[in-house]
Amino acid sequence: MSHAIAIGPRTYRFADLKTLLARASPLRSGDQLAGVAAASAEERVAAQMCLADLPLKVFLNQAVIPYEEDEVTRLILDSHDQAAFAAVSHLTVGGLRDWLLSDAATAETLAALAPGLTPEMAAAVSKLMRNQDLVLAARKCRVVTAFRNTQGLPGRMGVRLQPNHPADDARAIAAATLDGLLYGAGDAVIGINPAGDSPDDIRSLLTLLDEVRQRYAIPTQSCVLTHVTSTLDLMRRGAPVDLVFQSIAGTQKANAGFGVSLAVLDEAHQAARELKRGTVGDNVMYFETGQGSALSANAHWGVDQQTCEARAYAVARRYSPLLVNTVVGFIGPEYLYNGKQIIRAGLEDHFCGKLLGLPMGCDICYTNHAEADQDDMDALLTLLGAAGVHFIIGVPGADDIMLGYQSTSFHDALYLRNVLGLKRAPEFEDWLETMEITRGGRLLPQDRRQRLLAMMEGVA
């Protein structure tokens, strides 16, 4: 079904829904690379105007990727909640935008609506929004999850402590972990990206993190970000697995490129829940996504990268994860060219994920060959903090020496907490006070007599 709109003497025609969505998307290098971007600013505005008048019901009848050929499409349509959708079923995409920005859209009404929205609806409405709209609407969404502490409560923001090392050196990882804890980071998760994929090495890292957690009674969760099939095998062998990690994308072909399917994720989700390692909740999955992943695998079906990204959230939503992280600038300038595009993508991802009912965090990051710098990341960090981001990344010095990209530091989290008055997960906040790392949420001066350091005396 084609879509058309007349602007003065000129009529713009869009062959189908995926073309309309692509042309309406704010400019980014990935869509240009894929050949799906609008040819001009005028065509982009025309597509946005046409999209604004499109009834939301259309998205239930026009799949951007064929139902018969894609299990993500089948998941989206088969799991759609018609009763939840009824509240907005009479609206157009533009009408949904207006409603989201109105006082009628509250945390309660948005939570009830989430199962009734498809990822394509979320992507569509985001394309009509300014950055401030994305901040305002996302801030209203409330998604609370829990494992050993509680994430997503009002006025709180978590930090993933990321103690990566290029050789998976245990002492270096332990030192970076201690550094992060003394800066009050680590309530979202202590998560390592391993340099290798040896099952024995992965198990050693899992054991290291679990021993640290138990020795100091830290109310947090750990994760080694290896492939889901490796984690499944390690769970069968009795390794101390808290969260199951997997990178996911918005098409079946792209997920196949990651070596994963819904069936595999189903198995891992069930296995992790059966371990019953959580103390205050049973959200056991940790997913990472990023605009451009489907395109980089040539598995995007001609769909723009932001809509593909939103479709990945349908996969995540199936498993009620503890954490979802858009690694926004990690894939590179071929997909998000500069700071402006990275900022926009980060706000879009955060908004779409939360609108669909997910606990969205963001790795506010860029590669060293992108046209971006830490000032751009400061801007995105502050905007996401105002938008109610669930968690950010904490890397020593903001420079990940293993992955070779620039992210956010422990100090960046402190900045955001101070500016916006954000607290940590309550259970973790209490632990920091007990360990005399903080008082009233603020870091205390430390020396060798600090309680955590004193407990570590003599520990190899």
Residues of the binding site for adenosylcob(III)alamin: 194, 246, 296, 402
Would you say 385 and 419 are in contact if contact means Cβ atoms under 8 Å apart?
yes
Residues 148, 283: Cα–Cα separation, whole Å = 10
Would you say 333 and 363 are in contact if contact means Cβ atoms under 8 Å apart?
no
- Going by the annotation, the residues of the binding site are 160-162, 193-194, 246, 288, 296, 363, 402
Residues 255, 311: Cα–Cα separation, whole Å = 12
DSSP state of 59: G
Would you say 149 and 187 are in contact if contact means Cβ atoms under 8 Å apart?
yes
Helices 17-24, 305-317: axis angle to 10 degrees equals 110
Would you say 409 and 392 are in contact if contact means Cβ atoms under 8 Å apart?
no
Would you say 286 and 189 are in contact if contact means Cβ atoms under 8 Å apart?
yes
Residues 148, 393: Cα–Cα separation, whole Å = 19
DSSP state of 168: -
DSSP state of 445: P
- Going by the annotation, the residues of the binding site for substrate are 160-162, 193, 288, 363
Tokens of 150: 């509680």
Residue 159: which H helix or E strand, with range? strand 158-161
Residues 412, 24: Cα–Cα separation, whole Å = 34
The alpha-carbon radius of gyration of the chain (Å, integer) is 22
| Nearest to 302, CA basis, from 7, 25, 5, 9 | 25
- Which residue in this structure is represented by tokens 């993508």? 345
Would you say 111 and 357 are in contact if contact means Cβ atoms under 8 Å apart?
yes
SS3 call for 146: strand
Residues 345, 343: Cα–Cα separation, whole Å = 6
